[in-house]
């Protein structure tokens, strides 16, 4: 197995943090997305037709792309400690929270990045600055929603740390690099969770 | 168990089609999203704080929202016939294709709907017509991508019908209702797949 990745970007970080939590070691090959190596004809023909990283290459030479798909593949091979839920109810709740974080936090953060960052201007088809502003508000509102959730449970999906927490942390750390998008210290439940999750050894994977 | 749902909308349809494929029957309660019943204070306080349907109510009174989370919960209780993959590799590939369809087809179709439909104008914070146009192009391009994929395999994730196919069909049927967004008959592999999947008894769930 081999992981094509770009350590430092939020999606690759989700997988690296997952691997660290599970104690799984996989050799990796760095694909420089700032040099657009992930968009080379060879990469897109042989490794991932969508041109994204991370991608896991299996021993038979086939590939699995999309961060959560890679982690679910590994979770099936290494079920414990569970990061996708042990009981049926936990499985449902972890998936619900992964999706809520992706849909209502990661996607808007991505829109702020794609439509508002000077770094993406040269590579996207069209930037729509209004879209960045609209989504900036959505992100701020959603931090409030997460804060209210974390008033009621230790982690997003309940009592156990899960892939949903990994997804939220990687998204928040990326959002904080976009002018004016950190969470507020007044969000005390979110701040408590953020401090604790940021202190896990796996969170040092950047 | 009880399913809060609005038969006819694309996300509820994913769950109804999944239930039909699995042969699972769950009583349901209709929540009229056109009358915004899903945004009532009671619904958001007691059932789904995000105000979406479908939502599954478990026997202990707790709730699981998000279509795929509901289906994964049920899949854990009823593993066969598998719609999320049997082997680890299949699990990874089904998840990859669910996510590709959601990210590159369902999300852009949603943007066309949110930012371009007269029906949503009254309920969204702001419509950005340029965003609808940009995403309309993304949808058309992605139909080409799926066509090339289906030149090489019977179903999206490989030899077996899966949740990825359900997600794609429900998205395509919804896209076709948005002015000028059906796939092209010249996309012969996509058309072959579309005819076959549309003919399944479960696809009659609308």
Q: How far is A46 from chain B (nearest CA, A)?
A: 14
φ, ψ (nearest 5 deg) of residue B31: -115, 115
| DSSP for chain B, written as a single string | -EEEE-BTBHHHHHHHHHHHHHT----EEE--GGGTGGGSHHHHHHT-TT--S-EEEPTTS-EEESHHHHHHHHHHH--SS-SS-SSHHHHHHHHHHHHHHIIIIIHHHHHHHHHH-TTTTTTSS---HHHHHHHHHHHHHHHHHHHHHHTT-SBTTBSS--HHHHHHHHHHHHHTTSTT-PPPTT-HHHHHHHHHHHTSGGGG--
Res. B131: pLDDT tops 80: yes
Query: Mean pLDDT, to the nearest integer, of B46-63?
Result: 97
Q: What pLDDT band is residue A3 in, cutting at 50, 70 and 90?
A: very high
How many domains are there within chain A? 2
pLDDT digits (tens, 9 = 90+) for B154-205: 999 999 999 999 999 999 999 999 877 888 899 999 999 999 999 999 999 8
pTM: 0.96
Q: What pLDDT band is residue A121 in, cutting at 50, 70 and 90?
A: confident
My answer on whether B67 and B108 are in the same domain is no
My answer on whether B141 and B178 are in the same domain is yes
pLDDT of B132: 94
Chain B residues closer than 8 Å to A104 by CB = 50
In this structure, what CATH number is given to the domain that contains residue B101?
Answer: 1.20.1050.10
My answer on whether B161 and B94 are in the same domain is yes
ipTM of the complex: 0.96
Question: In this complex, which of B62, B91, B126 lies closest to A72 when CB atoms are compared?
Answer: B91
pLDDT digits (tens, 9 = 90+) for A140-151: 999 999 999 999
Chain B residues closer than 8 Å to A54 by CB = none
pLDDT digits (tens, 9 = 90+) for A40-50: 999 999 999 99
My answer on whether A96 and A181 are in the same domain is yes
Closest Cα in chain A to B100:
A66
Question: In this complex, which of B77, B88, B96 lies closest to A76 when CB atoms are compared?
Answer: B88
pLDDT digits (tens, 9 = 90+) for B11-47: 999 999 999 999 999 999 999 998 999 999 999 999 9
A126 touches chain B (CB under 8 A): yes
Domain that holds residue A105: 88-204
Give the long-range contacts of residues B147-156, CB within 8 A, separation 24 or more: B147/B183, B147/B187, B147/B188, B147/B189, B147/B190, B148/B189, B149/A49, B149/B189, B150/B189, B150/B190, B150/B192, B150/B193, B151/B189, B154/B193, B155/B193, B156/B97, B156/B101
Q: How far apart are CA A181 and CA A167, in angstroms?
A: 17
Question: Do the Cβ atoms of B96 and A65 come within 8 Å?
Answer: yes
- Maximum alpha-carbon separation in chain A: 50
Query: Mean pLDDT, to the nearest integer, of A166-182?
Result: 91
Residue written as token pair 């090489």: B152
In this structure, what CATH number is given to the domain that contains residue A37?
Answer: 3.40.30.10
My answer on whether B126 and B50 are in the same domain is no
My answer on whether A32 and A60 are in the same domain is yes
Is residue B83 in a domain? no
Q: Which of A77, A99, A126 is the last residue of a domain?
A: A77
My answer on whether B123 and B51 are in the same domain is no
Chain A residues closer than 8 Å to B73 by CB = 88-89, 91-92, 95
My answer on whether B51 and B120 are in the same domain is no
Is residue B38 in a domain? yes
For chain A, the distance separating the N- and C-terminal CA atoms, rounded to the nearest angstrom, is: 21
CA A38 to the chain's CA centroid: 18
Q: Which of A21-25, A124-128, B50-54, B142-146 has the lowest mean pLDDT?
A: A124-128
pLDDT of B119: 86
My answer on whether B130 and B163 are in the same domain is yes
Is residue A60 in a domain? yes
Question: In this complex, which of B87, B92, B125 lies closest to A72 when CB atoms are compared?
Answer: B92
Question: Do the Cβ atoms of A128 and B125 come within 8 Å?
Answer: no
Q: How far apart are CA B153 and CA B193, in angstroms?
A: 10
My answer on whether A97 and A70 are in the same domain is no
Percent residues over pLDDT 90 in chain B: 89
My answer on whether A163 and A123 are in the same domain is yes
B45 touches chain A (CB under 8 A): no
Res. B206: pLDDT tops 90: no
Is residue A83 in a domain? no
pLDDT of A103: 96
Chain B residues closer than 8 Å to A134 by CB = 125-126, 128
Q: How far apart are CA B125 and CA A131, in angstroms?
A: 12
């Amino acid at each position: 197995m081999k992981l094509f990745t770009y350590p430092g970007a939020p999606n690759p970080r989700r997988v690296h943090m997952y691997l660290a939590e599970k104690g799984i070691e996989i050799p990796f090959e760095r694909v420089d997305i700032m040099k657009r190596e992930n968009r080379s004809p060879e990469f897109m023909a042989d490794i991932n037709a969508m041109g994204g990283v991370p991608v896991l290459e299996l021993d038979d030479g086939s590939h699995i792309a999309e961060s959560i798909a890679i982690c679910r593949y590994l979770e099936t091979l290494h079920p414990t400690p569970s990061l996708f839920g042990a009981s049926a109810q936990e499985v449902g709740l972890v998936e619900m929270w992964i999706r809520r974080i992706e849909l209502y936090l990661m996607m808007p953060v991505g829109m702020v990045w794609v439509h508002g960052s000077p770094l993406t201007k040269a590579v996207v088809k069209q930037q729509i600055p209004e879209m960045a502003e609209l989504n900036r508000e959505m992100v701020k509102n959603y931090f409030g929603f997460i804060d209210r959730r974390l008033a009621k449970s230790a982690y997003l999906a309940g009592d156990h740390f899960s892939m949903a927490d990994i997804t939220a942390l990687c998204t928040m750390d990326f959002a904080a690099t976009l002018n004016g998008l950190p969470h507020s210290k007044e969000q005390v439940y979110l701040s408590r969770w953020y401090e604790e999750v940021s202190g896990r050894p796996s969170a040092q994977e950047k």
